[in-house]
Amino acid sequence: QRRNNILVKKNASVPDFTGIQLPDENFGIVDNKGFEVELGYRDGGKDFTYSFNGNVSFARNKVIEFDEPERQVAWQVQTGQPQGAELLYKAIGIFRDEQQVTSVPHVEGARPGDIIIQDYDKNGKIDNDDRILFPKTVNPEVNYGFAFNLKFRNWGLNGLIQGSGNSMRKVYSALQGLAGNYFDYDAVGRWTPDNINASKPRAFDRNDAYWRESYVTDYSYQNAAYARMKNLQLIYTLPKRIQNLTRLQDAQVYVSGQNLFLLYSGNKVLDPEIGGIMTRTGSVATDADRYSAAGINNYPIMKIYTIGTRISF
């Protein structure tokens, strides 16, 4: 499917110093391709019946035309890439010691324990041209679900598993400092002078230029794929003889749960379904990049347990 005449602002057509905000125009073009498959099966006998239903969809889009500023390097051109692709620096490790810092290109102020940024264009310095487009976005390309229904005599069990894949999201702020509330994942195992082989960067404060949002790397992003037991319900139906004695047409007792547990999560920090939106404009990263950022202040996904009855007279 091709979407034409998408409303966009052609602000890239005028210099930033003018302060001009142009009106929306029917200009953008995005191609969308994908497929969806759904399968189901049911069978059973006198005492036991069962049914299964599953679906999976894949969708990928590509920007054909939009108001994009002229890029200095070809690998930053968003036209031809997925809508929402992020320009990020590539993190390739953690500086172990001062000797390693001085041996590779780095930004001013880099210290042992900082993230090593890849010199992508190999010009011997870290600058704006070292940012690369990451094809995975906050919008999952894969979505799937699996529902089952089992019944044995008066007992029933049904559930729903849902998930998504092939996406990434910024799950916490890049400013992980010396003071404040932070995730255990970030706080435990950080680089220190006594732990120079750590896979997590050192603590720092917001005055440290090296860690400002201008140098956002893919270290701040994690795999957003997940599979969750979304719903699970156990049902007991009263026998017909009891229903007849009480003049009921149907009577059930059930226990159910929602958002019970994750079967799989691609990240080790937060629940992959937690919400939150952040907007950033950096002094080096001059594009107004918009991305989903799940953080400490976002309300968590709630587990819900229910006990109830269904009665028909």
pLDDT for residue 153: 92
Chain mean pLDDT for the chain: 83
Residue 200 lies in a domain: no
Instruction: Tell me which residue of 235, 239, 84, 58 sits closest to 168, measured CA to CA.
Output: 84
Q: Is residue 189 part of a domain?
A: no
The answer as to whether 28 is a domain residue is yes
User: How crowded is residue 123: how many other Cβ atoms within 10 Å of its Cβ?
Assistant: 11
Mean pLDDT of 188-197: 91
The verdict on residue 126 lying in a domain is no
Distance CA 128, CA 72 (A): 9
pLDDT over 70 for what percent of the chain?
Answer: 85
Q: With beta carbons less than 8 A apart as the criterion, state whether 225 and 141 touch.
A: no
| pLDDT tens per residue, range 63-104 | 888 888 888 899 999 888 898 888 899 999 999 999 999 999
For residue 178, pLDDT over 60 is answered with: no
Cβ pair 255, 307 in contact under 8 A: yes
Phi/psi for 221 (5° steps) reads: -110, 150
Output the CA–CA distances (angstroms, integers) from residue 307 to 154, 236, 252, in the order listed: 17, 12, 11
Kindly report the backbone phi and psi dihedral angles of residue 223, in degrees, each rounded to the nearest multiple of 5, phi listed first.
-60, 125
Q: Is residue 114 part of a domain?
A: no
For residue 197, pLDDT over 70 is answered with yes
pLDDT of residue 280: 34
- Distance, CA of 108 to chain centre: 31
Contact 120, 132 (CB under 8 A): yes
Pick from 3-17, 48-62, 197-211, 242-256 the range whose average pLDDT is largest: 48-62
pLDDT the model gives residue 295: 52
| SS3 track for 84-129 | CCEEEECEEEECCCHHHHHHCCCCCCCCCCCEEECCCCCCCCCCHH
Query: Would 291 be classed as within a structural domain?
Result: yes
What is the count of structural domains for the chain? 1
CA distance 180 to 293: 18
Rounded-to-integer distance, Cα 123 and Cα 130, Å:
9
Residue 50 belongs to a domain: yes
Residue 222, in any domain of the structure: yes
Give the pLDDT mean for 199-220. Answer: 73
Instruction: Note if the pTM is more than 0.75.
Output: yes
Task: Answer whether residue 177 shows pLDDT above 70.
Answer: no
Mean pLDDT of the 143-147 span: 98
pLDDT > 70? residue 183: no
Kindly tell me if the per-residue pLDDT of 137 is higher than 60. yes
Q: How confident is the model at residue 126, as a pLDDT?
A: 93
| % of residues, the chain, pLDDT over 90 | 45
Let me know the angle formed at the C-alpha of 241 by 247 and 308, rounded to the nearest 5 degrees. Answer: 70
Average pLDDT rounded to a whole number, residues 20-29: 82
Q: Which domain holds residue 19?
A: 2-89+131-175+212-312
Strands 91-94 and 86-88: unpaired
